[in-house]
Amino acid sequence: MQHRLEAVIFDWAGTTVDFGSFAPTQIFVDAFRQAFDFELSLAEARGPMGLGKWQHIEALGADPVVGARWQARFGRPMSHADIDHIYRTFLPLQVERVAAHADLIPGTLETIAAIRGRGMKIGSTTGYPRQVMERLMAAAEAKGYAPDCTVCADDLEAGARPGPWMALQCVLDLGIGSVARCVKVDDTLPGIAEGIHAGMWTVGLALSGSPAGLTLAEYETASAEERRAVRERVTPAFVEAGAHFVIDTIAELVPVLDEIEARLGRGERP
């Protein structure tokens, strides 16, 4: 049936695990400090979230504010050698700590069960390298979450986000018949771009991910007004990036899948 969805492809940190996506952001701060005694704020570290981690560091070096501070400190722009050194510092820190940020975002198990109950497959892509994901996948599986496939930022020669390649590799791995019957769910703008470039429906997560920057405790104790304020701050960027839907967290996804199938039934495509 051409109106039935075949797969959902999820991001990891900020989408299915690690509410607020704190594991990578804090470690970028620590890696810059350890590698070059260079101070980076958490807000600055969040800026390029969703890219591969080497590309994330490169983007921070190209950021007008961070780059100017780097230039003032070292008298030169950040070089590829500098990026390599920060990345080599980042990687073991991330491998060491990622399992401590493997708690599932509330609603993940229920949503995954509902998706599987519809006969759909579960794919995943991530800005983490494979070395980090081996640790995170094992920790998540112990908590009950194991997608049918995972494609990492360093798996493909073509590259990672914002290109379509990781999402399209999921299509191949899962044996999907049409990209128009796939949904990409992500808390980052590069992740939304990945889905759009792959020809998929896209769903942005406004409150569980890096742009919102809330801890789970902050989210759970926030008033309706406080949540609305964060939602209004974060959502426009997702809309501008082309997200077809924007919801708070993965817990609200199933009704969106119903709406997408209704739109497919009317002949609409992403």
**For 89-108, how does the pLDDT look when each residue is reduced to its tens digit (9 = 90+)?**
999 998 988 999 999 999 99
Encode pLDDT of 96-153 as tens digits.
889 999 999 999 999 999 999 999 999 999 999 999 999 999 999 999 999 999 999 9
Domains annotated for the chain, with CATH where assigned, are: 7-21+103-265 (3.40.50.1000), 23-100 (1.10.150.240)
Residue 2 confidence (pLDDT) above 80: no
Question: d(Cα 85, Cα 90) in Å, to the nearest integer?
Answer: 9
pLDDT surpasses 70 at 1: no
Q: Are 188 and 15 in contact (CB under 8 A)?
A: no
Of the candidates 126, 185, 208, the one whose C-alpha atom is nearest the C-alpha of residue 161 is 126
Q: Which positions ≥6 away from 234 have C-beta within 8 Å?
A: 206, 207, 211, 212
Q: pLDDT of 16-61, one tens digit each?
A: 999 999 988 888 999 999 999 999 998 899 888 888 899 999 999 9
Q: Which residues are catalytic?
A: 11, 53
HSE-up (13 A, CA, CB side) for residue 12: 34
At 267 the pLDDT is 94
Specify whether the CB–CB gap between 31 and 93 falls below 8 A.
Answer: yes
Q: Which two tokens stand for residue 137?
A: 């996948």
Three-class DSSP category at 263: helix
Condensed to tens digits (0 to 9), the pLDDT of residues 159-200 reads 889 999 999 999 999 999 999 999 999 999 999 999 999 999
| Residue of higher predicted confidence among 235 and 42 | 235
Compute the Cα dihedral for 164, 170, 174, 180 and give only its sign: negative
Task: State the pLDDT confidence band at 249, using cuts at 50, 70 and 90.
Answer: very high
**pLDDT > 70? residue 73:** yes
Distance CA(183)–CA(162), nearest Å, equals: 16
Cβ atoms of 205 and 29 within 8 Å: the answer is no
Per-residue pLDDT at 52: 85
List helix spans (H) across the chain.
22-36, 42-46, 53-62, 64-74, 80-97, 108-117, 130-142, 165-174, 189-197, 216-221, 224-241, 253-265
